[in-house]
């Protein structure tokens, strides 16, 4: 399905505007998910994850697409069943990525038990309005990047490398946010290694 209608307007954008009208402008995961500063593929994937619509191995086996003898173990740890919550959040290897990102930002959290609770916690997190553009991008880019890496490991026989993934996620956040705004004059290295200085600068500005 194309994400552009005949006028070239993003359907994601149209849907976001509709939802904004319905839900108002309060903090709500729906505003986090339809983040117009990120590519439509990232927004759409986050919506699928939020609505429990991901086609995980466990799901595919349950509906008969995957053979009963096929492995449904998590491609990263090879220990637990691949549910959406496991492969995107609670897998101990994936969890290190989330923890690393939270440390990068300078905060800590407790493990949410679902994608919807993760997004709920994220959207309710108290941070300055100027920082929110970066803060709001983190969960979407992370969810999408983890799933992309999962697909590369599953379908292209790549080796899981979740240590590199965290750096890749921050790099993507920097590239996409810089592309969406001319006001972010920071380098990707600044994002990677000096996020506290960026937060200080945008709050001062
Ligand atoms: Zn796992």
| pLDDT tens figures, 107-136 | 988 878 899 999 999 998 888 888 999 999
- Average confidence score pLDDT of the chain: 85
| Interval between CA 56 and ligand 1 midpoint (Å) | 12
| Interval between CA 82 and ligand 1 midpoint (Å) | 7
Rounded to whole angstroms, the Cα distance separating 64 from 85 reads 21
Average pLDDT over residues 6-11: 46
Q: Which long-range contacts (CB under 8 A, 24 or more apart) does 150-158 make?
A: 150/75, 150/76, 150/87, 153/75, 153/76, 154/75
| Interval between CA 85 and ligand 1 midpoint (Å) | 10
Predicted pLDDT at 142:
97
| Interval between CA 127 and ligand 1 midpoint (Å) | 31
23 pLDDT more than 50: no
Q: Please state, for a pLDDT cut of 70, what percent of the chain lies above it.
A: 86
| Interval between CA 170 and ligand 1 midpoint (Å) | 22
Which residue in the block uniquely carries the two structure tokens 């976001």?
Answer: 16
| Interval between CA 103 and ligand 1 midpoint (Å) | 21
User: 43-57, 162-176, 180-194: lowest mean pLDDT where?
Assistant: 180-194
Higher pLDDT, 147 or 27: 147
| Interval between CA 171 and ligand 1 midpoint (Å) | 24
Query: What tokens appear for 33 in the block?
Result: 């998910």
| Interval between CA 78 and ligand 1 midpoint (Å) | 6
11 pLDDT more than 70: no
64 pLDDT more than 60: yes
Higher pLDDT, 149 or 22: 149
| Interval between CA 54 and ligand 1 midpoint (Å) | 16
Predicted pLDDT at 8:
44
User: 15-24, 68-77, 93-102: lowest mean pLDDT where?
Assistant: 15-24
| Interval between CA 95 and ligand 1 midpoint (Å) | 9
Residue 75: left (phi > 0), alpha (psi -120 to 50), or beta? Answer: alpha
Based on DSSP, count helices (H) and strands (E) in the chain, helices before strands. 11, 0
Q: How many other C-beta atoms lie within 10 A of the C-beta of residue 151?
A: 12
Q: Which of the four pLDDT bands, split at 50, 70 and 90, describes residue 205?
A: low
15 pLDDT more than 60: no
């Amino acid at each position: 399905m194309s994400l552009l209608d005949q006028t070239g307007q993003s359907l994601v954008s149209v849907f976001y505007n509709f939802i904004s009208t319905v839900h108002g402008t309060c903090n709500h995961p729906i505003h986090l998910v339809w983040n117009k500063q990120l590519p439509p593929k990232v927004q759409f994937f986050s919506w699928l994850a939020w609505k429990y619509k991901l086609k995980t191995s466990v799901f595919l086996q349950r509906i008969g697409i995957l053979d009963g003898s096929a492995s449904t173990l998590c491609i990263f740890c090879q220990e637990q069943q691949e549910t959406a919550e496991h492969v995107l959040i609670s897998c101990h290897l994936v969890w290190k990525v989330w923890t690393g990102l939270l440390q990068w930002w300078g905060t800590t959290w407790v493990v949410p038990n679902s994608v919807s609770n993760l997004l709920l916690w994220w959207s309710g997190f108290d941070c300055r309005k100027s920082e929110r553009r970066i803060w709001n991008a983190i969960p979407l880019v992370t969810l999408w990047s983890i799933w992309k890496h999962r697909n590369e490991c599953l379908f292209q026989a790549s080796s899981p490398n979740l240590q590199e993934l965290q750096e890749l996620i921050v790099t993507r956040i920097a590239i996409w946010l810089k592309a969406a705004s001319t006001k972010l004059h920071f380098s990707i290295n600044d994002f990677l290694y000096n996020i506290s200085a960026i937060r200080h600068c945008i709050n001062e500005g």
